Amino acid sequence: MKNKLAITAIGSVIISALNPAFAEPPADSDWVLVWSDEFDGEQLDATKWGSGSTPWGSEAQSSCTLIPAEDTYLQDGHLVNRSRLGPVVGPSGKEFKYTSGWAWSRTWLTYGYLEIRAKYPDHRGAWPAWWMLREGWPPEFDIAEYRGEPRGYMTHALFDEARQWTTTHTRKDGGEDGEPIDFTDWHVYGFEWSPGRVRYYIDGQLKHDVEDPDVPAQAMYVILSNGTSCDDGDGTGFPNYYTIDYFRWYQHAPTDQPVAPTDLTATIEEHGTVLKWTAPPDTPAATRYTVQRADGPDAPFEEIAAGAFGSTFTDVNSTKPGTRYVVVAQNDHGPSQASTETSAEKPSDPPS
């Protein structure tokens, strides 16, 4: 197998660690905050986050953990993902041993510096995690994935496009060379994602630095989940809470207006028409998108969304075949050209 992963360790980067509640992205860069949530509302913003299931629609995380909507909520300016001891019965009638709170971002972006401030639960079998996926698997980023006793460590991992894992751990007892860390206290967890390289931080200290040509280069989304390992035999430590103070996503400030999105598709589903597109990552970054719709073959395009994020948007007001769409990328330097237009279609029937 090719020796393609160069894993290095360096001392630290300049991130504010004196006040980790207000940590900043790495210095010497022109970072701009493009997407965030401070969780200050009365309930989770459903335009930003999904909850109550996995992002792919499953009621369960595993054979033993159900994901009920009531186990993800806002409290005192924090996002809380709760885990409870069952038994509990899911919508399908299946019985589960535990519950698991999940929140996953509806925004998909490529590259940047991401950060949360969080408290993790710690008990036998605890498996809370901050991680990232895209449609299809691999790849996967495990940014700050804690494993409770008997393991007692935080995992920082990359599963790349070539299906290779590279992983390191930050132990709560400090291990041979580190200082002990109480993951149940507040800490700032950071993740820097750039072409061919990812870096993982705790309170501004670099924990894992991976150079790999197979680092994913497509838009991904964030998952914050409070799971439990199915081999937790004693059922202790419930209920427990994975608490997140804020989520922030920074990207480099663009130096020019973006190019047009490509590969635009429009698929009619029961809840609306789902648009998906691609923004090439090696061009000036887009910070938002404008979606335009034309309701007939000769109708003019009209703007239906001015601040769409990521690489997908659902038009909940139309399920009409033949409706035409274009998408325009935007940043502070101006708009791109419009994408090539596409027409809404129903998904193809599977082969008989």
3-25 pLDDT, tens per residue? 333 333 322 332 333 333 335 67
Find out whether 79 and 103 touch, Cβ atoms under 8 Å.
yes
Q: What's the average model confidence in pLDDT over 53-68?
A: 94
Say if residue 11 is exposed, middle or buried (CB neighbours under 10 Å; 0-12, 13-18, 19+).
exposed
Query: In the block, which residue shows the tokens 């028409």?
Result: 273
Which structural domain range is residue 150 located in?
A: 6-252
Average pLDDT, the chain: 88
Q: Are residues 194 and 284 in the same domain?
A: no
* 156 and 269 both lie in a single domain: no
In a domain, 245, yes or no: yes
- pLDDT beyond 70 at 47: yes
Model pLDDT, residue 24: 64
Say whether both 273 and 304 belong to one domain: yes
Which pair of tokens denotes residue 185? Answer: 């206290």
Is 349 within the bounds of a domain? no
User: What mean pLDDT do residues 269-286 have?
Assistant: 83
Do both 188 and 275 map to the same domain?
no
| Average pLDDT of the residues in 106-127 | 93
- State what percent of residues in the chain have pLDDT above 70: 88
Q: For the chain, what is the domain count?
A: 2
Q: Is residue 12 situated within a structural domain?
A: yes
| Confidence category of residue 257, pLDDT binned at 50, 70, 90 | confident
**Residue 222 and residue 195 share a domain:** yes
The residue out of 201, 232, 252 marking a domain boundary is 252
Average pLDDT over residues 61-75: 96
Say whether both 87 and 121 belong to one domain.
Answer: yes
Q: What pLDDT shows up at residue 199?
A: 96
Mean pLDDT on 111-130 = 95
- Residue by residue, DSSP assigns 295-309 as SSTTPPPEEEEEEE-
Q: What is the pLDDT of residue 14?
A: 28
Q: Would residue 201 count as lying in a domain?
A: yes
Residue 348 lies in a domain: no
* Integer Cα distance of 311 and 277 in angstroms: 5
Rounded distance between C-alpha atoms, residue 111 and residue 30, angstroms: 14
350 is a domain residue: no
- Are residues 271 and 243 part of one domain? no
Question: Is residue 32, in this structure, part of any structural domain at all?
Answer: yes
19 burial type by CB count under 10 A (0-12 exposed, 13-18 middle, 19+ buried): exposed
Average pLDDT for residues 199-206, to the nearest whole number?
95
173 and 32 together in one domain: yes
What is the per-residue pLDDT for 3?
A: 36
Burial of 305 (0-12, 13-18, 19+ CB in 10 A): middle
Residues 207 and 318 reside in one and the same domain: no
Confidence of residue 154 (pLDDT cuts 50, 70, 90): very high
Residues 287 and 232 in one domain: no
Find the mean pLDDT for residues 301-326.
91
Considering the domain architecture, whether residues 209 and 237 belong to the same structural domain is answered as yes
Residue at a domain's end among 204, 220, 252: 252
Contact 343, 320 (CB under 8 A): no
CATH code: domain of residue 282: 2.60.40.10
Domain end call among 206, 226, 252? 252
Yes or no: say if 61 and 225 are a contact pair by the CB < 8 Å rule: yes
User: What CATH number does residue 155 fall under?
Assistant: 2.60.120.200
Identify the weakest region by mean pLDDT among 131-140, 187-196, 307-316: 307-316
Assigned domain for 279 exists:
yes
Q: Are residues 52 and 189 in the same domain?
A: yes
Average pLDDT over residues 175-200: 94
